[in-house]
A and B are shown apart, each in its own frame.
Chain A
Amino acid sequence: MIQIKNLHKSYKMGTSSLHVLKGINFNIEEGELVAIMGSSGSGKSTLLNILGMLDIADEGDYILDNVPIKNLNETKAAKYRNKFLGFVFQSFNLINYKTALENVSLPLYYQGIARKERQELALDYLERVGLKEWSTHLPSELSGGQKQRVAIARAMASKPKVLLADEPTGALDSKTSFEVMDLIQKINEEGKTILVVTHEKDIAQMCKRIVKLKDGVIIEDNKIKQILASSYV
């Protein structure tokens, strides 16, 4: 599903430049649930941004679902993001003046799906994350866990190839963290490829594979035995 070869990225900091990614190579198959771990500054967020087409690599190849991702302008990147990727953020990033339903239907709006169909689909996804009754509520009326579930429903609504989650449990207490991970695992069981960036070990253990980054290189890449989040809930 994802093939990365010799990925380099450096940032200019005034006169000096900071080499963040120093040749990353890895492949992700369809249906994998991968945790990307590493301390701050290890380059894990940069990697996720490049995978999410929010940033562009200086060097190397990135192939997503057999489509080489290169020479992106903003319009093309937006279309690819909309078509291939779903984002889940640490701070949820729901639009605060839109209801849960409107938030979930937003990527469908950018796909050009008609309003009625969009709402039906969005409601369907809200039901899947167990928040059908909350569809008319604003984000400010939802708890942290609920917000993240809305965000996951939003990420899923556009039927992406890959779900990218940047510290999805970073702002949640452990109980709701496990609830969210349980949801992510269930989505993965349905066959969705998911990447989770985290620095929490117990969250990483709930994935099927852990990729550890340090100073811009992969130092460890192991398949592990997944711990089910439902056993904690």
Chain B
Amino acid sequence: MSSFKVIFDKDTWQEIFGSISKNKTRTIITVIGVLWGIFIYITLSGAAKGLDNGFERQFENIAMNSMFIWGQRTSIPYAGYKIGRNIRLRLSDIDYIKKTIPEVQYAVPRNSRGVFTGAPPLVVRKNKSNNYAVYGDFPEFTKIATKKIYDGGRFINEEDIKFKRKVCVIGERTHTELFEKDENPIGQYIRIDNIYFQVIGVHKFIPGGGFESDGDIFIPYETFRKIYNTGNWVQWFTIAAYDDVDVIEVEKNIKATLKRIHKVSPDDERAFGGFNLGEIFNKIVGFSKGMTLLSLIVGIATILAGVIGIGNILLISVKERTKELGVRRALGATPSEVRNQIILESVFLTLIAGVIGIILGAFVLFGINASTQDLTDFPYTNPTVPIPFVLGALFIMVFLGTLIGLIPAQRAVSIKPIDALREE
């Protein structure tokens, strides 16, 4: 019989199943080793994936290759200007950046009241009032940082900018604090710093770092500019680079360009501040990649230890079964049949252990998932192990099981039937 045929022969499996199921203690002990290995692997890499997903979720509402850039004070005197000059970004900088740095996909100016500077404006509706941060935004801003707007509402659009409309998008908290329960705020008016604004949408706040909150009010940039008389002055730029470019390099280029326009020394590191999400994101991705690699190494090492355990126990069992194997040989089992049997026993045990380990690991991951479901501030989402990884682990186990099975199998074959059958 060819070895290929043997694998698909029902009798082979019945023979193996017979020998395995009738040596229960041995089987159980053997299985536990590998089971533990695959269990550790599945749990660890699932946990690592959960962490990975968790981080990803934290960043899901903002482009991962985006950055913020704002002006600070110069730290080096340059071109006749003295040290400590206040640098203010200008609206015209945006066009220049877009023109000169092709890696920039979107660049949006943004102004605010009550976040970094100034007191949050007083917002009044009927007899209710509170202070909320107000942002002046372009519609393009949503291309970089997604804003989820509740049904029936919308974000600021080009028309709002063009006609300097007095419209606003309010936060969930603003909605609950200023409006009655079950009251639809869309189309209603609220007073921001004594100017009436029509509510055009309610945005859903997604936690995940940053300085925004669930009370923020967004108004058209041009309206903001007019009301607060900001002129050309921009508080900060939100810039997104294309997906495949090095965001750190882009940030450097942008800063260098800005330094040139604003006549700042090229060596002045303090004139422009920046917060590069891409850079941070890359670090986190690196961290979770490290975690995944670690779990892979630990998992495979544990599986290896388990498989070696199987080989060890099979080796002992071959010694125990010397007589049985001798009898089988005397009854007409060829060496390759004996070898195949031992190897297949090894593979079968490994596989059984692997499958049970995977199932147990899946249960634990399920448990972790259920218990971390409600934790919004803990970056942990949907801990899973990709199917190719599971199959890969199984394949490695079968491969190692075969390899390790070769040792006891060779031992079994090397026993001569005459020695095995010799009476003591």
From A90, A94, A96, A111, give the contact of B332 (CB < 8 A). Answer: A111
Which of B97-105, B139-147, B321-329 has 4 or more CB atoms under 8 Å from chain A?
Answer: B321-329
Q: Which residues of B contact A90 (CB under 8 A)?
A: 423
Taking the closest CB of chain B, its distance from the CB of A198, in whole angstroms, is 14
- Does B337 count as interface, using CB distance less than 8 angstroms? yes
A91 touches B331 (CB 8 A): no
Binds B, one of A12-20, A31-39, A74-82, A213-221: A74-82
Say yes or no: is B188 at the interface (Cβ < 8 Å to chain A).
no
Known: A95-B327, A97-B19, A115-B11. A83 touches B423 (CB 8 A): no
- Chain A residues whose CB sits within 8 angstroms of the CB of B79 once the complex forms: none
Q: How far is it, in angstroms, between the C-alpha of A141 and the C-alpha of B259 when the chains are bound?
A: 95
* A residues less than 8 Å from B335 (CB atoms): 74-75, 78
Q: Is B232 an interface residue (CB 8 A)?
A: no
A233 at the interface (CB under 8 A from B): no
Are A75 and B327 within 8 A (Cβ)? Answer: no
Taken together as a complex, chains A and B put the C-alpha atoms of A91 and B1 apart, in Å, by 31
B368-418 with Cβ < 8 A to chain A: 413, 416-418
Most buried by A among B22, B328, B332: B332
The answer on a CB contact under 8 Å between A87 and B330 is yes
Could you tell me the distance in whole angstroms from the C-beta of B15 to the nearest C-beta in chain A? 7
Are B323 and A74 within 8 A (Cβ)?
no
**Chain A residues near B417 (CB-CB < 8 A):** 54
Closest B residue to A91 by CB, please name it: B423
- With a cutoff of 8 Å between Cβ atoms, the chain A residues found around residue B23 in the complex are 97
- Residues from chain B with a CB closer than 8 A to the CB of A96 are 324
Known contacts A81-B331, A82-B331, A158-B332, A97 near B421 by CB under 8 Å: no
Complexed CA–CA distance, A98 and B11 (Å): 15
Contact with B along A85-123 (1 / 0, CB 8 A): 001011101111110001000110111101100000000
* A55 in contact with B1 given A87-B331, A109-B11 (CB within 8 Å): no
Q: A residues within 8 A CB of B19?
A: 97
Given the known A-B contacts A54-B417, A55-B418, A98-B18, are A79 and B334 also in contact in the complex, defined by CB atoms under 8 Å?
A: yes
Q: Is B18 a contact partner of A112 (Cβ separation < 8 A)?
A: no
Please provide the chain B residues from 288 to 342 with a CB less than 8 Å away from any CB of chain A in the complex.
323-324, 326-337
A171 CB to nearest chain B CB (Å): 10
Q: How far is the CA of A13 from the CA of B145 in the complex (A)?
A: 88
Residues on B with C-beta less than 8 A from A81 are 329-332
Contact A54 B336 (CB under 8 A): no
Q: Find out whether the CB atom of B334 lies under 8 angstroms from the CB atom of A115.
A: no
* Complex Cα gap A89–B417 (Å): 13
By the criterion CB–CB under 8 Å, are A78 and B18 in contact?
A: no
Smallest CB–CB gap between B403 and chain A, Å? 23
Q: Is B10 an interface residue (CB 8 A)?
A: yes
Q: Is the CB of B332 within 8 A of A79?
A: yes
A110 to B329, CA, bound (A): 10
The 6 closest A-B pairs by CB, nearest first: A82-B332, A97-B22, A110-B332, A54-B418, A78-B334, A107-B331
Interface of A toward B, CB cutoff 8 Å: 49, 52, 54-55, 74-75, 78-79, 81-83, 87, 89-91, 93-98, 102, 106-107, 109-112, 114-115, 154, 158
The contact sample of 17 A-B pairs, CB cut-off 8 A, is A49-B418, A54-B417, A54-B418, A74-B413, A75-B335, A78-B333, A78-B337, A79-B334, A90-B423, A91-B423, A93-B323, A93-B326, A96-B324, A106-B331, A110-B331, A110-B332, A115-B10
